[in-house]
Structure 1
């Protein structure tokens, strides 16, 4: 048996090698003896801004909470909290800086550092580039956050908000809560800096916070304290719009391929589909094709167009789409292969569609092809908000477990 991985939008050579390496190793562990190959198309068919993005308004990423605050509630408080933190990494620290704590009568003697100042000193003393032998350094590299960690550390430790919160934290309990808020701010800042290149699940994000917390005198068991509770309530009241505003510049200029690849494919997708056909047909054995994001769109188009012509792509045993927009394009009448209302043609293979509801680039396939037993949806969760969740699928055991189950079911 053979697996063929097709990457998604915005992926270029270096990122592809990391992503495919992970997919290859995970599938090989579950299917010993299977061939795992990849169809890399980013350099040949990917988009770029020919004039450097001069058409994009507001290219500088802001860190404020934004001006458009609506009442749409994200369904999960933890991703909602991190949505705010990605927009404004210091928001929890700012709550502690402005509101302070109710004291129990303790005070700091002249010339003696407060409990909060000790935390700030430890934060400023963290190594900006932890070695790979250190769990923190290894995890930062594995999640794509290493390059932005030093600047995140510097921004948070040197912020006026952290200084004020440190002065307010006169007791040990205050200091532990401050340590948690500071650690979350550093990780959020690094995530924001990584943008679409972040490769981090919710569990990995939380582990990074724990590692920083314990090194600056906090309690890793404390989930976030009062500041997190305040921000959690606020998070359930705000829309994703501030985050989308904040990320617009980085997505459409520095990360133009993230959106541009989809647009370019819609205009000139035939050559990519022919490359996929050649890659699938390269080996005469049963193949499971796995498409992430735009890769899933192209595979659906290829398989549907070929089947409709009475020339199904040979030996495709199973189609897996992960975080794909194909069902949404079908609904809008923008899917190349099928018009709205058209069913999947005879000869189209079984289709497993995997999605994370926090991923605004992932859509359901079952409801748009009702009654077609070949189509099934499966939900997973990385615990991350958008954008990081769109890149986190292939770190989740649940993704590979469901693929393995589908392979067994197709035998």
Structure 2
């Protein structure tokens, strides 16, 4: 009897040798008379950036030679990154800018800021309403459905925001944050900033409601804000000082877009082996399957195939394609997939060998599928092949979060116990 270990995505020589040494030692301890081999494919069939990463914006100068080093440090986020980050925060919480004004108020120039009671200007005439209340009245008076021919109506329709605009308008106008900020906006400068913040809140709420169905550019978004701000008595071309400064700093710290922009090159290079191997296999998997077939049939006798992650996908494809042709892979008596995405790809219709709903062909071997429910790359096989006695799922709990759990299987005693049980059930000697 022989075991053949097929590693998963992103694995290269050094990692493979460490991983296989662990698997070999654990299997040899339980099966001292069995041969334990490995099928290392990462260097030969794994993905790489053949053009040196030229497809990645900002990774290297366009005129740099392919052997030039990658940029060591990302550029600092610019104004465009800051603006994108602000709107990412507004889409997540449309009232966040109003909340800043409601809680922090404005510096009135007295050195004291607003008082704790939110009464606004301490020198205001008794009985005179804060200027912000007038802005709130204008907001409450805006029609939820602008008249035909109105630029605002046309813009809402063209951006896909018309349906969500009434609810966005109402939720902003009725919010405690708007009321509080309005009460604290004592003078005209504060009222103009409040108008800008309210317009941005309404626009953000409408965008958040529309989600992926919105067809809105940054220019159209800014024009919506400008139209709304003007109708509230403000000036959208003058950004709000207090709220914008706080929101901008916060957005750059808590949103992911500036970080993604800055580190896109290094993130892409780092993710290429793992993600790239999967994409490459989906496009050119035949070469890897032929390589696996050669390695499996190189030695006579029964073979237990152990595939991790993408290795499991390739083995399922190889075995199913061969069995469907009436040419089962010689010697393949038992398949063990560990942390594999093969069942998920089958459901998606992205598994090369089997269309959704198709049964495993006659001649496909017994299949033990091992998963950890914390592993985001592990899926169940039994439920998608119901009633097939060849397919068995087995759960392992490493008590590790993802992604550590995706590699933690190989130190689990229960994995090898279950493999030993499966070998006995298959009567492989």
2:322 counterpart of 1:319:
no
In structure 1, what is the equivalent of residue 308 of structure 2?
A: 292
What is the CA deviation profile of residues 3-57 of structure 1, one whole-angstrom value per residue up to 9, with x for unaligned ones? Answer: 0000000001111100111100000001111100011111110001234445557
Answer whether contact 1:56 1:253 (CA < 8 A) is retained. Answer: no
Question: What secondary structure, in the 3-state scheme, does the structure 2 residue paired with 1:5 have?
Answer: strand
Secondary structure of the corresponding residue to residue 255 of structure 1:
helix
* 2:46 matched residue in structure 1: 46
**Cα distance, 1:248–1:2 mapped onto 2, change above 3 Å:** farther
Aligned runs of 1:5-404 on 2, under 5 Å? 5-53=5-53, 55=55, 252-404=268-420
**1:74-127 deviation per Cα after TM superposition (whole angstroms, max 9, x unaligned):** xxxxxxxxxxxxxxxxxxxxxxxxxxxxxxxxxxxxxxxxxxxxxxxxxxxxxx
After superposition, the Cα gap between the structure-2 partners of 1:283 and 1:410, relative to the gap in structure 1 and judged at 3 Å, is same
Distance across 1 between alignment mates of 2:10 and 2:58: 21
Q: Distance in 2 between matches of 1:400 and 1:68?
A: 51
Give, in angstroms, the shift of residue 314 of structure 1. 1.1
Distance in 2, Cα, partners of 1:359 & 1:69 = 30
Name the residue aligned to 1:89. Answer: none
Separation (CA, whole Å) in 2 of partners of 1:409 and 1:14: 35
**Moved runs in structure 1, 4+ residues, more than 3 A?**
51-61, 66-70, 244-252
Give the distance between the partners of 1:405 and 1:371, measured in 2 at CA: 21
Give per-residue Cα distances to partners, 1:207-234, cap 9 Å, x unaligned.
xxxxxxxxxxxxxxxxxxxxxxxxxxxx
Alpha-carbon distance between aligned partners in 1 of 2:350 and 2:20, rounded to the nearest angstrom: 28
CA–CA distance in structure 1, aligned partners of residues 421 and 387 of structure 2? 21
Asked if structure 2 preserves the Cα contact closer than 8 Å seen for 1:251 and 1:258, the reply is no
Separation in structure 2 between the aligned mates of residue 2 and residue 378 of structure 1, nearest angstrom: 22
Are residues 338 and 37 of structure 1, via their aligned partners in 2, closer, same or farther at CA, if it must alter by over 3 Å? same
Rg comparison, structure with higher value: 2
When normalised by structure 2's length, the TM-score is 0.51
Write the distance in 2 (CA, Å) between the matches of 1:40 and 1:374: 27
Q: What SS does the aligned partner of 1:318 have?
A: strand
Partner of 1:200: none
Q: Distance in 1 between matches of 2:304 and 2:90?
A: 44
2:169 aligns to what? none
Please give the alpha-carbon distance, in whole angstroms, between the structure 1 residues aligned to 2:31 and 2:260. 43
Give TM-score scaled by structure 1 length: 0.54
Change (3 A) 1:58 1:68: farther
In structure 2, the CA distance between the partners of 1:281 and 1:67, relative to structure 1 (3 Å rule), is farther
How far off its partner does 1:255 sit? Answer: 3.5
Alpha-carbon contact 1:352-1:375 (below 8 Å) kept: yes
- Measure, in 2, the Cα distance between the counterparts of 1:364 and 1:250: 33
User: What secondary structure is seen at the aligned counterpart in 2 of 1:268?
Assistant: helix
**Matches of 2:410 and 2:10, distance apart in 1:** 16
Are the counterparts in 2 of residues 252 and 258 from structure 1 also a CA contact under 8 Å? no
Question: Deviation string for 1:119-142 (max 9, x for gaps)?
Answer: xxxxxxxxxxxxxxxxxxxxxxxx
CA distance in 2: counterparts of 1:68 and 1:407, whole angstroms = 57
Return the structure number with greater relative CO, CA threshold 8 A, min gap 6.
1
Residue correspondences, number: 237
Cα distance in 1 for partners of 2:309, 2:358 equals: 22
